[in-house]
């Protein structure tokens, strides 16, 4: 019944997806959203998966593949890491990704980025990475990264499709439209390298204040909303021969 309902909603709210061929002709930057243990590694924290999750595992695998290829080609990479002060809550979520803990570290297969000169890492203490890139002096590290590298397209991957990924994509698109991200033209979301969490209704009912969050449906809705805001959604990413 639930599966049939989700299939019906997907039919009524279709998300057209294309393939993406990356080449040196268009300067493209990779943006990794919150590939940290606290969201991706089984049992790592309050918001981590409690068991193996196929969608999350696929997202991590594809994100790692892209990160390595981008760095091999010396193409720019920007990684957001959700990180919170222990005394500053982020309602409605329970404590997660506390600074200084393993939860706030990149997943093991991406920890090499910590010493990668080609990568820019940004710890953020809010859902929206664009806002989380604002420093006390008013500058924005993400905006500076786009401008410095003269990026014309960003390829966005990570977790959660309908939360942190979507909020960042929407803000990036608005900033682009306001000419704050020159020369950025395209914001591209790679669906297979994005994921969200699963919280079935029968589980949510036993958690005070929780909302049901069916994984496949909310992943689809996140992509649908991103496309409606102006992002391009792709289901395959490959690289042109050099």
Residues in the chain: 242
3-state DSSP assignment of residue 158: strand
Specify the pLDDT at position 112: 98
User: What is the distance between the alpha carbons of residues 166 and 161, in angstroms, rounded to a whole number?
Assistant: 6
Tell me the DSSP string of 4-25: HHHHHHHHHS----EEEEE-TT
Specify the pLDDT at position 199: 83
Beta pairing partners, 140 = 134
Cβ atoms of 81 and 36 within 8 Å: the answer is: yes
pTM: 0.96
Percentage of the chain lying above the pLDDT 90 cut = 86
CA distances from 27 to 31, 117, 182 (A): 13, 18, 12
User: What is the distance between the alpha carbons of residues 31 and 28, in angstroms, rounded to a whole number?
Assistant: 10
3-state DSSP assignment of residue 233: strand
Mean pLDDT, the chain, integer: 95
Tokens linked to 27: 């300067």
Q: What is the mean pLDDT of residues 127-134?
A: 98
Confidence of residue 1 (pLDDT cuts 50, 70, 90): low
DSSP 165: I
Q: What is the mean pLDDT of residues 220-242?
A: 96
DSSP 1: -
Q: Taking 80 as the threshold, does the pLDDT of residue 3 lie above it?
A: no
Residue with tokens 């080449």: 23
Specify the pLDDT at position 32: 99
Cβ atoms of 230 and 187 within 8 Å: the answer is: yes
Q: Measuring CA to CA, which residue among 181, 67, 69 is closest to residue 113?
A: 67
Q: What is the mean pLDDT of residues 190-196?
A: 98
Tell me the DSSP string of 91-137: TTBPS-SBTTSGGGSBPGGGGGGGG-TTEEEEEESSS-HHHHTB-TT
């Amino acid at each position: 019944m639930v599966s049939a309902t989700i299939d019906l909603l997907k039919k009524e709210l279709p998300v057209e997806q294309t393939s993406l061929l990356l080449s040196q002709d268009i300067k493209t930057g990779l943006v990794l959203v919150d590939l940290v243990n606290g969201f991706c590694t089984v049992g790592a924290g309050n918001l981590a998966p409690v068991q193996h999750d196929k969608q999350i595992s696929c997202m991590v695998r594809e994100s790692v593949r892209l990160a390595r290829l981008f760095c091999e080609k010396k193409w720019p990479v920007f990684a957001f890491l959700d990180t919170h002060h222990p005394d500053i809550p982020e309602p409605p979520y329970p404590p997660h990704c506390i600074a200084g803990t393993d939860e706030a570290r990149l997943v093991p297969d991406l920890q090499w980025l910590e010493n990668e000169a080609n990568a820019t890492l940004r710890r953020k203490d809010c859902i929206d990475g664009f806002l989380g890139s604002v420093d006390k002096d008013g500058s924005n590290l993400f905006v500076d990264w786009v401008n410095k590298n003269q990026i014309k397209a960003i390829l966005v991957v990570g977790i959660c499709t309908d939360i942190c990924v979507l909020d960042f994509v929407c803000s990036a698109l608005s900033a682009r439209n306001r000419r704050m991200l020159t020369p950025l033209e395209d914001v591209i979301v790679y669906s297979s390298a994005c994921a969200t969490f699963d919280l079935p209704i029968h589980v949510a009912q036993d958690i005070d204040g929780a909302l049901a969050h069916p994984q496949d449906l909310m992943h689809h809705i996140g992509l649908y909303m991103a496309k409606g805001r102006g992002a391009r959604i792709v289901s395959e990413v490959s690289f042109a021969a050099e």
